Amino acid sequence: MISPRRRYALALPSGSVLELGARTLVMGILNVTPDSFADGGVHLDPGLAIAAALQLEADGADIVDIGGESTRPGAEALSTDAEIARVLPVVEGVASKIGVPVSIDTYKAEVARLAIDSGASIVNDVSALSYDPALAGVVAAAGVPIVLTHNRGRSQEMYREAHYVSTPNEVERELGGAIERAMLAGISREQIVVDPGLGFAKRAEHTFSTLANIDAFRSLDRPILVGPSRKSFLDDALGERPPADREWGTAAAVASAVLLGAHIVRVHGVGQMADVVRVADHVAAARDSEER
């Protein structure tokens, strides 16, 4: 039996609160990159990126996550200056035009600081504070929520670290260590979200095991974000396909994550996945009602 999802509240810089748990929130992905695996190069122009963010909100996004550096396996690292040049005009334009929180997808302290100053409300760090030690201080000083993603190694070498005896147990333990690291740096526990990192330093079998055990991460007592969208692990079930042809597989993974207790799902196709989330939320609510 899966217990009802716990509820949490994240304090945003605006003074508002992002409520988690009553329903699953949808985080829409806005990549401002030439080389992201799913949509690289589509939104490099700031005007097109801002228009895309408005469309994500219209399609049902509860959060818009803006990223300027691809973190796909094998991706080259980007300089801080280049990342700032890509994301800052977009963050400024988006934050002033949409009514949902903007998240900055970065592991760099200076990028996060400038993005927060420009209107970003959340930091989404794929390194769980392991790449840039200064990032924790920026987040603590700003008091913004942070997503800590389970990962091992950098993008170019992460598969070298994909060795597990019990994937869910090791991911849970390492995320617990990331929470402690964040708190020691002055970040409030109440402002932390955990992401088990589907595809990050995990081969397909590790990723499916992690997804199947999302409910195990409830022991961390933090809201859970899950990002399966269009990732290559889906090919293990579907056969080899380009990212754009993995939407039905993504839908199945999103529904599974919701039913297992995810608070936020991070996706590219917001319109379609918002429908998936609504139905999965209703199924979960009916299950919880019967169990009571």
Mind listing the pLDDT tens digit for each residue in 113-171?
Answer: 999 999 999 999 999 999 999 999 999 999 999 999 999 988 767 788 899 999 999 99
Q: Could you tell me the CA-to-CA distances from 153 to 4, 156, 200 in Å, in that order?
A: 34, 8, 9
Average pLDDT of span 190-198: 98
pLDDT greater than 90 at residue 71: no
- Residue 48, token pair as written in the block: 């097109």
Query: Which member of 86, 154, 231, 246 is catalytic?
Result: 231
What pLDDT is attached to residue 78?
87
Which tens digits make up the pLDDT trace of 235-272?
Answer: 999 999 999 999 999 999 999 999 999 999 999 999 99
Cβ burial 27-61 (10 Å sphere, 16+ → b, else e):
bbbbbbbeebbbbbebbeebeebbebbeebbebbb
Task: Please report, as a single letter, which amino acid is at residue 31.
Answer: N
Q: Could you tell me the CA-to-CA distances from 245 to 39, 56, 203, 227, 249 in Å, in that order?
A: 12, 20, 20, 17, 9
SS3 162: coil
DSSP string, 94-160: HHTT-SS-EEEE---HHHHHHHHHTT--EEEETTTTSS-THHHHHHHHHT--EEEE---S-TTTGGG
Q: Are 223 and 190 in contact (CB under 8 A)?
A: no
Give the domains, in start order, of the chain with CATH numbers: 30-291 (3.20.20.20)
Active site residue 202: no
pTM for this entry: 0.94
Q: Which comes out higher in pLDDT, residue 156 or 230?
A: 230
Active site residue 231: yes
Which tens digits make up the pLDDT trace of 107-118?
Answer: 999 999 999 999
Query: Which member of 202, 266, 278, 287 is catalytic?
Result: 266
